[in-house]
Structure 1
Amino acid sequence: MYYYTLGRIPPKRHTQFRQDDGSLFHEEVMGIHGFAGIQSILYHRRPPTRVRQIELVERIEIPYEEQGPLRHRAFRAAAVPPGGDPVSGRVPLMGNHQVLISVVRPTEAMGYHYRFAHGDEVIFVHDGSGVLESQFGLLRYRPGDYLVLPTGVLWRLLPDDGVEQRMLVIEAMGHVTPPERYLNRYGQFLEHSPYCERDLRPPEELRTYDEEGDFEVRVKARGGISRLRYDHHPLDVVGWDGHLWPYAFNVADFEPITGRVHQPPPVHQTFAGPGFVVCSFVPRLFDYHPQAIPAPYNHSNVDSDEVLYYVEGDFMSRKGVERGSFTVHPNGIPHGPHPGTYEASIGKDRTDELAVMIDTFHPLRITTHALALEDPAYAYSWLESAPAAT
């Protein structure tokens, strides 16, 4: 991301920066790709290394189903029950060695701070509002926000009281960035990109905690969750600067790219991750060629699995798919618009659909959690005589 700073920092890095009592602040360099990627420098009141107790609290085994016949699938994830906090309440639905896709409907606050050590997380806020708290500061979130949490960020969500929360969670085994084609060689967004720096919301306020006591941090790494107990509040940062920080991007700020004829899914791309992309299908005007067919053509994902998460509105090429549902179209089988939607799209001038698409370049596996949510009729919903997914 672009350069940003909050709080107090010295005029030159790696030099003396003293507290009111004359002691030094403790500098922390946080960066990716060794020392060859973007980084930020944070200044703590106490060393961020002062851990007094460490224990493994949970082994994580994702319960994937045994592979059955290849088919298109739909899952009514709106029925996932509420419970837990934004981390403990996650229900993993599908994944592979590069990405894990979950939903969560948290009802509890996080009494600890959390770090995902393997890569970046993207949390799409379907419903709900509150505050993202991290060592970089406070950032309010609202429906439609993508919260992008780089690895190394120590965070927790503080949901607003009495507000229902529903979130889509993407855990990447690596880094999530804007697509390279949106950026110039200096990292600035180009004029043709569907969003730019002005649309990214950095932390708004740096809150420094100068407290001693017992403070819990949980770290997910290497197949488990470890609990680290600190003798001081870990969010004791007085200032920071750099290019690595958590941010929010609201899907309403994604400017759709349209054309005279139907545009392919890459025009909707929002982020790139290791072995996957994230796209945003947003309300937009339809194609304007006089003979245009706005609905998408039939196509085969010969190199990828396609996941669609339905957020709001009526998706122009689908029937019977409700809010909060997923469809999964694996590579190896063509897919396309449902019967009647292709012809019915002709003459329409806009769509109000809102959906998040995740395309993976290695096959996804479905978890046993998802099986109870599955619509078994979906694979046959392209037959004229068969009912649509209900």
Structure 2
Amino acid sequence: MSGDARKTAEGLAYLSGFGNEHSSEAVPGALPQGRNSPQRAPLGLYAEQLSGTAFTEPRAHNRRSWLYRVRPSAAHPAFTRTGNGAVRTAPFTQAVPDPNRLRWNPLPEPEAGTDFLASLWTLGGNGDVTQRTGMAVHLYHATASMERVFGDADGELLIVPERGGLLLRTEFGLLHAEPGHVALIPRGVRFRVELLDADARGYVCENYGTPFQLPDLGPIGANGLANARDFLAPVAAYEDVEGPVEVVNKFCGNLWTATYDHSPLDVVAWHGNHVPYVYDLRRFNVIGTISYDHPDPSIFTVLTSPSDTPGLAGVDFVVFAPRWLVGEDTFRPPYFHRNVMSEYMGLIKGAYDAKAEGFVPGGGSLHNMMSAHGPDRETFDRASAAELKPQRIDDGLAFMFETRWPVTLTPQAARAEHLQQGYDDVWQGLERHFRPLH
């Protein structure tokens, strides 16, 4: 094992550092020394490279890992189509983009025995999965652990738990994600989701584009926002299982299934930087004003998927973490604004400081590009008259998937029973206060 290893209270071991070149072996001597693919890999294992980027992308952007496994991934039967359930994929062409402000309650209660994959429900997205551009917003509400294994060839998955802990058994080892954490599963990495509680609920951003990375800090300097060392990658752990295992592959928007005669989670050792991570959002180092005015929400960016235009992301992941508000002569909640980016916001716990009611954990709101939004009337009135003493915001944890393109809804999201009616009403009663001096 190399790198900074950490132990959790559950006994899981992790390697720290986002994007780092890690290595780990579950059995001593499983990692070859000095060669990635020697003529004979140690311990009778097979050497295999998993590439998350093109071979020739610049070294700083290149994502790949070498896996040393009991059987190579090539040893599998043919895949056949299976039902997609409520999963949908770009291009989203069944509806037109909607400029209206929209908000949903949490997903309805699922049936007993619904696993993570079966519970995935697509709200919408943008881009084209065959061109590796854009993103999708999914929600999940599971009541059972997965027995099958899942891999997504279309994009990486950023899992945001809101209720219930998850144990993610990946090809690289184990990750534990609970509410307040996020888990990143890279494109093509196979995994199984096991529930640590009676049920589990949350959000998923499927990123078809450039892999998520830490944003540049610019004038902030070398430190702040999400620190690389706080992203934890798993230590190698493998399944040596002989017997039928269902493997589901998401490819160009459709689900395909095959029954293997062994578990594909059989990687005994690995090294590389195309690896899964877990990150505790409470470790986010919030940067904000200590004088006056309200910084733009981009200051809360945890991860970004860059596009071909500098500073314009295919998708950003933003968190509104616990923080102090100390701005003088400042309207402290998020200000009224219209934005060239489209924003899907979710709530992990508590309340959001720009909304008085209606925005609840497990729910979400969508403000597509240039849709005017901001604090509701109650929040505006309260914040405009508040005594501006230092205030600690620690009773809520909200996040945002922000994307350069409009989010087009799926028909199931546009017609959902849990779509709130009358969301516009929260801005009613914002009265005229203008009084000309002359």
TM over 0.5: yes
Which residue type is aligned with residue 32 of structure 2? P
How far does residue 354 in structure 1 lie from its aligned partner after superposition?
1.2
Match of 1:73 in 2: 102
RMSD over aligned Cα atoms: 2.5
Q: Following the alignment from structure 1 to structure 2, what is the Cα–Cα distance between the partners of residues 143 and 323?
A: 11
2:11 equivalent in structure 1: none
1:77-116, CA deviations, whole angstroms, 9 ceiling, x for partnerless residues?
A: 2545465211111111222222111111111221111110
Structure 1 counterpart SS, 2:279: strand
User: Runs of 5+ in structure 2 lacking a partner?
Assistant: 1-18, 128-133, 308-313, 432-438
Distance 1:102 1:30, change over 3 A: same
Counterparts of 1:1-390 in structure 2, within 5 Å, are 1-7=19-25, 8-12=30-34, 13-20=36-43, 24-35=44-55, 36=57, 37-58=62-83, 66-67=95-96, 70-79=99-108, 81=110, 84-97=114-127, 98-160=134-196, 162-182=197-217, 191-204=222-235, 206-259=236-289, 260=291, 261-273=293-305, 275-289=314-328, 291-301=329-339, 303-320=340-357, 321-345=359-383, 346=386, 347=388, 349-352=391-394, 353-370=396-413, 371-384=416-429
**Equivalent residue letter for 1:76:** N
Does the 8 Å CA contact 2:215/2:303 hold for their aligned counterparts?
Answer: no
Shift of 1:193: 3.0
1:146 to partner: Cα distance? 0.7
Contact 1:82–1:104 under 8 Å retained in 2 = no
Question: 3-state SS of the aligned residue for 1:209?
Answer: coil
Tell me the matched-pair count: 375
Q: Please, what TM-score do these two structures have when normalized by structure 1?
A: 0.88
What is the TM-score when the length of structure 2 is the normalising length? 0.79
Contact map agreement 1:128 1:159 (CA 8 A) in 2? yes
CA contact (8 A) 2:346 2:398 kept: yes
Superimposed CA distance per residue, residues 156-210 of structure 1 (whole angstroms, 9 cap, x where no aligned partner): 11112x4331121111112432344149xxxxx9633312232111114x22333
More displaced stretch, 65-74 vs 324-333: 65-74
Cα–Cα, structure 1 residues 16 and 369, in superposed 2: closer, same or farther, change >3 Å? same
- Partner deviation per Cα, 1:351-376 (whole Å, 9 max, x = no partner): 23310111121111223333311222
Report if aligned partners of 1:296, 1:342 keep a CA contact under 8 Å in 2: no
Secondary structure of the corresponding residue to residue 219 of structure 1: strand
Contact 2:241–2:263, Cα closer than 8 Å, also in 1: yes
* Alpha-carbon distance, 1:55 to partner: 1.3
2:31 aligned partner, one-letter code: I
Code of the residue aligned with 1:383 in structure 2: it is: Q
Q: Structure 1 residues 80, 67: CA separation in 2 closer, same or farther (over 3 Å shift)?
A: farther
Task: Report the alpha carbon displacement of residue 284 of structure 1 after superposing the two structures with TM.
Answer: 0.7
Contact 2:32 2:41 in 1 (8 A): no
Q: Partner letter of residue 226 of structure 2?
A: Y
Amino acid in the other structure paired with 1:25 = L
Deviation, structure 1 residue 65:
6.5
SS in 1 for 2:119: coil
Indicate conservation of the 8 Å contact 1:146/1:251, yes or no.
yes
Displacement after TM superposition at 1:68 (Å)? 8.2
**In structure 2, distance between residues paired with 1:306 and 1:140:** 28
Query: What per-residue deviation string (whole Å, max 9, x for no partner) do you get for residues 124-182 of structure 1?
Result: 0111113111110112222211110101211011112x433112111111243234414
Greater alpha carbon shift after TM alignment, 292-301 vs 114-123: 292-301
- Report how far residue 75 of structure 1 moved: 0.8
Q: Percent identity?
A: 24
Match of 1:186 in 2: none
User: Separation in 2 of the partners of 1:2 and 1:91?
Assistant: 33
Corresponding letter in the other structure for 1:374: L
Hey, what's the Cα distance between the residues in 2 that align with 1:76 and 1:304?
23
CA offsets 1:248-307 (integer angstroms, 9 cap, x no match):
011111111111231110010111136221100011101332x12212221111x22111
CA 1:385–1:237 in 2, change beyond 3 Å: closer, same or farther? closer
Q: Which amino acid aligns with 1:384?
A: G
